[in-house]
Amino acid sequence: MLEDIDRVLLTEEQIQKRVSELGAEISRDYAGKDLVLVCILKGALCFMADLSRNITIPVDMDFMAISSYGASTKSSGEVRILQDLDAPIANRHVLIVEDIVDSGLTLKYLVDNLSARRPASLKIATLLDKPARRLVPIATDYNGFQIPDEFVVGYGLDYAEKYRNLPFIGILKPEIYKK
Ligand code: 5GP
């Protein structure tokens, strides 16, 4: 698996430090509020697990699975819900926990979809942001790292379902997805 990585972009230590800062910020901002963390599966699974453990106020967790790129490195722009939330979010404070904002199409769809359910508030926490590739404007509220326009894997992010279990974020060798 490691031989497929061109270089490490963010080390495990860098990720953990930033995630703990975000957790502290979220704990302060939502103190006394009824907060639901909505993890977008599967890419945000590691971020959700670590972020939630750095939040010191009570939270509920829910999960949504949406269609991903499959074995491609570009967004089709078409988003489908594969698994919806377990519980209604009306009148609750909702924080979407996402792995990466690239074109922004996925988050735009999610924001539109979840806003229609009338939450008390709706905000976005994303671990990574690739601003160079944005097609639709998306304002994120909690942002881990801005990264260059490279296809990354690890810490939950995959290529063809592989590499999610790497503890760091790395740039995949282009020959892997150009095969
Ligand atoms: P968007 O709709 O913003 O273009 O794409 C968002 C989704 O595309 C993310 O949730 C993620 O699953 C996937 N994605 C975007 N960029 C990358 C990347 O560099 N690596 C991986 N593994 N997935 C990405």
DSSP assignments along 76-127, one per residue: -S---EEE--SS--TTSEEEEEEEEESSSHHHHHHHHHHHTT--SEEEEEEE
Tell me the pTM: 0.94
pLDDT tens digits along 81-112: 999 999 999 999 999 999 999 999 999 999 99
Confidence of residue 123 (pLDDT cuts 50, 70, 90): very high
Beta carbons of 179 and 159 less than 8 angstroms apart: no
Q: Is the pLDDT of residue 115 over 80?
A: yes
Taking the centre of ligand 1 as the mean of its atom positions, its distance from the CA of residue 33, in whole angstroms, is 30
Cβ of 99 below 6 Å from ligand 1:
yes
The pLDDT of residue 73 is: 60
Clarify whether 50 is annotated catalytic: no
pLDDT tens digits along 5-43: 999 999 999 999 999 999 999 999 999 999 999 999 999
Cβ of 68 below 6 Å from ligand 1:
yes
d(CA 177, CA 44): 21
* Mean per-residue pLDDT over the chain, rounded: 94
Confidence of residue 79 (pLDDT cuts 50, 70, 90): confident
Taking the centre of ligand 1 as the mean of its atom positions, its distance from the CA of residue 32, in whole angstroms, is 33
One-letter identity of residue 152: V
Percent of the chain with pLDDT over 90: 89
Cβ of 104 below 6 Å from ligand 1:
yes
Please pick, among 6, 34, 60, 102, the residue that the annotation labels catalytic. 102
d(CA 131, CA 80): 23
Atom of ligand 1 nearest to the CA of 106: 2
The pLDDT of residue 130 is: 95
The pLDDT of residue 89 is: 98
Confidence of residue 76 (pLDDT cuts 50, 70, 90): low
Taking the centre of ligand 1 as the mean of its atom positions, its distance from the CA of residue 73, in whole angstroms, is 8
Catalogue all structural domains in the chain, each as residue range(s) with its CATH number: 2-27+34-177 (3.40.50.2020)
d(CA 156, CA 15): 12
